Amino acid sequence: MTETENNLKPRIGVFSLTGCAGDQLMILNLEDTLIELLSKFDIKSFQEASSYSENTNLDIAFVEGSVSTEHDLKTLKNIREKSSLLIAIGDCAVNGCVQAMRNKQTSIAERMIDVYGVEDNIYKTFEPKGVGEYVKVDFEIPGCPIEKEEALNALISLLNGDAPLIPDYPVCVECKLNGYPCVIIEEGKPCLGPIITAGCDARCPGLGLDCVGCRGPIKGETNAKAELEALRKRGYADKYIINRLRFFAGNFDDIQILGVKENSKGDK
């Protein structure tokens, strides 16, 4: 491949902050198209897949992982500075994911004691947040992990010069499109589908399970109170529901509020 050909390709980097690296892995899981796909980009950095890395300006930076340490934040700011587009991939980068579930509920010191037996914040860790809390994000691809088809379509859109299409409707829609029996209605299971961003093709209800919310609540459209009510009505305890709502939404204000209120109720 000649230099000029390479010059026309979008220069990309795939970076990861604090998380499980599952979103990079999902890209590597696109086995059928991986070689063709990667050959369409000029890859400047892909930590999990390659030793080759260049600290250069990028057309597109894909960032997975949450911002949890000063090191993360420094890396992120550096990436933002040198990239024209920054795309958050995966729930960690979008919402902070499960590691954010206790935000504003337990302190870092409490967590340090629980896990390491020391209180000092050795790692300079702070409450995990999505990258959008700190820098401008151009697009978000949600999911824990991202759906590989969705990621592929987003990459194709970007190659074609278009904005990626990401659903902003709830899992219930896909559940219905597939004709899956509704697990809330049929079995009273505590499904979070009504408030969670679709795009997974309703994997959990398709397996007869209640959605745990891994694609995160729909921004600006989540009726957390209604979910609390709907599950209460089906006999679930507040502690159970609120824990569950927090799994992938520790950073959502309206869900944090539920938590705080219930805690204080419990204190009495």
Partner 1 sequence: MTVKNSLTPLEAQITRIEEMTSIEKLFYLKLIDLNTVKEFHYTPGQFLEVSIPGVGEAPISICDVQREHGRLQLCIRKVGRVTNAIHRLKKGDRLWIRGPYGNGFPMNLMENHDLLLIAGGLGIAPLRSVLQYALLHRNSYGSITVMYGVKCYSMMLFREEFLKLFREGDKLNVKFLLAYEDSDDFQCYQLSCERSDRCMSGLVTKLIESTAITPDNTYAVVCGPPIMYKFVVKELTQRGFTPAQIYMTMERRMKCGVGKCGHCITGSSNSIKYVCKDGPVFTYWDALKTRGLM
Partner 2 sequence: MTKTLIIDELTRVEGHGGITVIIDGERVKDVKMNIFEGPRFFESIIKTVYYDKVPDIMRRICAICTASHSLASIRAIEHAFNLQVSDQTQILRDLLIHGETIESHALHVFLLALPDYLGYPDALKMASEHFNTVKAALELKKAGNIIHNILSGREVHGMNERVGGFSKLPSERKLENIREEMLKVKRTAELSVEMLAQTEPPLNINSKNIFMALNPGEKYGFIGDEILISDGSAHHINDYLKIVKEHTVNYSTAKISTYKNQPFMVGALARILLNRNKLEGTAKSMFKKYHTLIREVNPLSNNLAQAIELVHSVERAASLVDELLGRGLREERLPSVNIKDARGVGAVEAPRGILYHDYTFDKSGCIVQCNVITPTAQNIANIEKNYREVVEALIHEEDDKIKFNLELISRAYDPCISCSTHVIRVKN
Partner 3 sequence: MYKKLFKEDLEQFTSTLKQFGSIYGPVKKTSRGCEFTELTDFKDLQLNYTRTMIPPKKFFLKPKEPLYSLNKDAGFKEIIDDSKTVLLGVHSCDINALNLLDRVYLNQFPDLHYKTRRENTIIIGVSCEPDDYCFCTSTGSSHALKGFDLFLHEISDSYIVRVGSMKGFQIITQNKHIIKNPSLTDIKEFKEYEAERLSKITLNLNVNGIQDILDLSFDHAVWQENADICFGCGSCNLVCPTCRCYDVIDYLKLDLKNGLKVRRWDSCMLKQHALVAGGLNFRPTRVERLYNRFNCKMSCSEDSLNCVGCGRCTVYCPADINFVEVLKQVRED
Using the rule CB under 8 A, is 219 a contact of partner 2? no
Q: CA-CA distance, 132 to 138, in Å (whole number)?
A: 9
Asked if 13 and 83 count as a contact pair (C-beta separation under 8 A), the reply is yes
Q: Which two tokens stand for residue 1?
A: 């491949």
Task: Indicate the residue among 3 and 220 with the shorter CB distance to partner 2.
Answer: 3
256-263, Cβ contacts within 8 angstroms, sequence gap of 24 or more: 256/103, 256/104, 256/105, 258/224, 258/225, 258/228, 259/104, 259/105, 260/104, 262/238, 263/105
* Nearest CA among 38, 106, 61, 174 for reference residue 115: 106
Q: List, in order, residues 6 or more apart from 8 with CB less than 8 Å away.
A: none
Task: Indicate the residue among 78 and 163 with the shorter CB distance to partner 2.
Answer: 78
Using the rule CB under 8 A, is 220 a contact of partner 1? no
Where along the sequence are the contacts to partner 3 (CB under 8 A)?
33, 36-37, 40, 152-153, 156-157, 159-160, 165, 168-170, 172-173, 176-179, 181-182, 184-187, 191, 193-195, 218, 220-221, 223, 225-227, 229-230, 233
Considering only residues 194 to 213 of the shown chain, the ones binding ligand SF4 according to CB under 6 A are: 194, 196, 200, 202-205, 211-213
26 is in the binding site of which of partner 1, partner 3, partner 2, none (Cβ under 5 to 8 A by kind)?
partner 2
- In the block, which residue shows the tokens 């209605």? 185
Residues contributing to the site for partner 2 (CB under 8 A) = 16-23, 25-26, 28-29, 31-32, 34-35, 38-39, 43, 46-53, 66, 68-69, 71-72, 97-99, 101-102, 106, 110-112, 114-116, 118, 122-123, 125, 128, 144-145, 148, 203-204, 206-209, 212, 214, 239-240, 243-244, 247
